[in-house]
Amino acid sequence: MKIFNAAQIKELDIYTTQEQKISPIQLMERAADKCATWLRNKYPIHTHFSVFCGLGNNGGDGLAIARLLIAHQYKVTIYILKYSPNTSQGFEENLALLKDLITIRTIISEKHIPPIEKNSVIIDAIFGAGINRPIEGVCKTLIENLNKLDNPKVAIDIPSGLPCEIDDFSKENTILSADYTITFDAPKLSFLLPKTAHYVGNWKTLPIGLSENYKQTIESDYEYIQSNDILKITKKRDVFSHKGTFGHVEMIGGSHGKIGAMILATKASLRVGAGLSTAFTPNCGMQIMQTSVPEAMWTGNRANEYYLEGNYISSNKTVAIGPGLGIHPKTQTFLHLVLKATKTPMVIDADAINILARNKEWLNILPENSILTPHPKEFERLIGSFSNDAEKLKKLKEFTATYKCIVVLKGAHTAVANVNGQIYFNCTGNPGMATAGSGDVLTGMIAGLLAQQYSPIHAAILGVYLHGLAGDLTVKEIGMPSLIASDLVNYIGKATLHM
C-alpha cells in the first residue's frame, strides 16, 4: 500500500471523481458515511458528539459526519471555527444540508470557545492533510484547550496541525492529540514515525474507493506492508523438496554468557523454514547449542572458550552474524575476515553492527544487498545523530544507497529500507516485543528466509512481518508483559498459518 503526500492525495481525489464520474461532494459523502459507520459501531446511541469543523474540505467532512450521526438519533453539537472569510465548496454544500436540522454554533474569538460536556466525544474536523503552516489565533487556543480535556478525541483524516510531510513538523507547533484517527485508503507517513505518531493515537484506514489505476501511476518512496502484500511474495513448497532445497544457514555469534542469543537466532532460522542450520560459536557454546537446538549443527574455529577469533573459511551457506557476538578486539578482526570472505548477501545484527560502527571503512566491503538489522541506537552509531524523523529517513536512504545494502530499522512499524531508497513500513507487532532477544529471533528469521532463496528485500520484508505477527499471536494468549523472545520462536509456525 503506497503512502502519499498531501499533493498526491489531492490529485488522487480529483482523478477518482473524474474516473468514476462522481462529484467531489459525492466522494466526501462516501468518506463521511464510512466515518459515521465507524463511530456508530464504536459508541452507543446515548453518546454525545461535539464536532469541531474548519472551513475547508476537512470541515465539510465533519459537517457530513454530524448530519449522518443526527440521522441515526445521536446527540450532536456542531461548532464552526470562523478563522477566515474563505470556505470550500464541499464545506458550503454540507453546511446547507444541515441548516434546517440543527442550530450550528460559530466560534469567532476565544470568548466563543465553549465548555465541553464531560463525556462528549470530540470530533476534530478543523484542518486536514493540506495544512503546511503552524496553527494560530483562535484555532490554536481551541486545540490547546481540547488537548487539556480527558474527553475521547477522534480526528478525521489527520489530527489538526499535524502535517503529512514530516519536513514540516515541529514539536513547537500546536497539534491536536487524538485518541483515534480515521483516515482514508492509506495511512499518512506521519502516522508511522516516533516523533509524530503519538498525536494520532490508534488509527484506522477506511477504504473509500479511490482510483486503484491512478494509485499505480503515483511514485512514492514509502509503502505500508499488509497481509495481501505478503501473500504475493510467499513461496509454495514443491512436493519433491528436500532439506537441501531450503538452504543452509551459518549463524555466527555468541560469547561467554551470551550463547542464549545464538539459541534464539538458530532456532528461528529453522522454524521459519531453513533446511539446515549450523551455529558457529566459541567453544563455550558447543554443549549449550547441541543440547538446546538438537536440530542444528555446531562448528567453531579455534580453541577459545570465551569469544570468536582466528581464521574464517567461507562456505556456500547463508551467513548471519552478530547475536551475542561481543566486541572483543580479536572478535572485531574476525568479523573483518568474515566480511572479506563472504560474497553473497548476509544478515548483520547486534554487536556486528556495533563493530562496524567502530570501523566504518569496513562498510565498503559489505556483500551487495546484505541486510543490517539495527535498533535505533545501533543505527545512530552507524550514521551519526539526527535531529528529527525527516533527517533520519534521509540518512537512512543515503546509507543504503552508499553501501548498496538493506537496512531493517527496528521499532514500531519497523522500516525496511531498500538499496533504491524505497522504504517499507510494517503493520504487525506490538510493544510486548520490546524484550531481550526479540531482535535475535528476527535475525534468525531473515537469515532462514534468505537461505530459502527469497530475494534479500523480500526476506527482510517477510521476516519482519512474520516476526511481528508471531508477537501479535503471542500476546493474544499471554498478554504483553509476559512475552519473552522464546515465545516468538514458538509462534513462528502459527504466524505462517495466518498468512
Q: Is 30 labeled as ligand-binding?
A: no
Q: Is 311 labeled as ligand-binding?
A: no
Closest C-alpha to 338, from 358, 356, 350: 356
How many whole angstroms separate alpha carbon 344 and alpha carbon 370?
8
Q: Is 134 labeled as ligand-binding?
A: yes
Phi, psi of 437 (to 5 degrees): 95, -10
Residue given cell 566491503 in the structure block: 365
Q: Which three cell numbers mark 257?
A: 554468557
Q: Is 105 labeled as ligand-binding?
A: no
Q: Which three cell numbers mark 78?
A: 456542531
Question: Residues with Cβ < 8 Å from 46, sequence gap 6 or more?
Answer: 75
Closest C-alpha to 325, from 346, 348, 344, 345: 348
Helix axes 438-451, 350-358, angle to 10 degrees: 90
Q: Is 41 labeled as ligand-binding?
A: no
Q: Which three cell numbers mark 428?
A: 504487525
Q: Is 294 labeled as ligand-binding?
A: no
Q: Is 389 labeled as ligand-binding?
A: no
Q: Is 211 labeled as ligand-binding?
A: no
Phi, psi of 299 (to 5 degrees): -150, 160
Q: Is 160 labeled as ligand-binding?
A: yes
Q: Is 341 labeled as ligand-binding?
A: no
Q: Is 437 labeled as ligand-binding?
A: no
Q: Is 485 labeled as ligand-binding?
A: no
Q: Is 50 labeled as ligand-binding?
A: no
Q: Is 487 labeled as ligand-binding?
A: no
Question: Residues with Cβ < 8 Å from 443, sequence gap 6 or more?
Answer: 265, 268, 320, 322, 323, 347, 349, 350, 373
Q: Is 344 labeled as ligand-binding?
A: no
Which uninterrupted H or E stretch holds 53? strand 48-53
Q: Is 215 labeled as ligand-binding?
A: no
Residue given cell 522464546 in the structure block: 486
Counting every residue, how long is the chain? 499
Q: Is 147 labeled as ligand-binding?
A: no
Do 208 and 27 contact (CB within 8 A), yes or no? Answer: yes
Q: Is 133 labeled as ligand-binding?
A: yes
Q: Is 157 labeled as ligand-binding?
A: yes
Q: Which three cell numbers mark 199?
A: 498525536
The beta strand positions in 220-364, using DSSP E, are 222-225, 248-252, 276-280, 297-299, 318-321, 347-348
Do 464 and 495 contact (CB within 8 A), yes or no? Answer: no
Q: Is 411 labeled as ligand-binding?
A: yes
Burial of 221 (0-12, 13-18, 19+ CB in 10 A): middle
Q: Is 124 labeled as ligand-binding?
A: yes
Q: Is 153 labeled as ligand-binding?
A: no
The beta strand positions in 381-487, using DSSP E, are 406-409, 415-417, 423-426
Contacts 24+ apart (CB under 8 A), 276-279: 276/243, 276/244, 276/246, 276/247, 276/248, 276/249, 277/248, 277/249, 277/250, 277/251, 277/448, 278/248, 278/249, 278/250, 278/251, 278/317, 279/251, 279/254
Q: Is 128 labeled as ligand-binding?
A: yes
Query: Which amino acids are annotated as binding site for K(+), given as ranges?
Result: 58, 124, 160
Query: Which amino acids are annotated as binding site for (6S)-NADPHX, given as ranges?
Result: 57-61, 128-134, 157, 261, 324, 375, 440
Query: Which amino acids are annotated as binding site, given as ranges?
Result: 57-61, 124, 128-134, 157, 160, 261, 324, 375, 410-414, 439-440
Query: Which amino acids are annotated as binding site for AMP, given as ranges?
Result: 410-414, 439
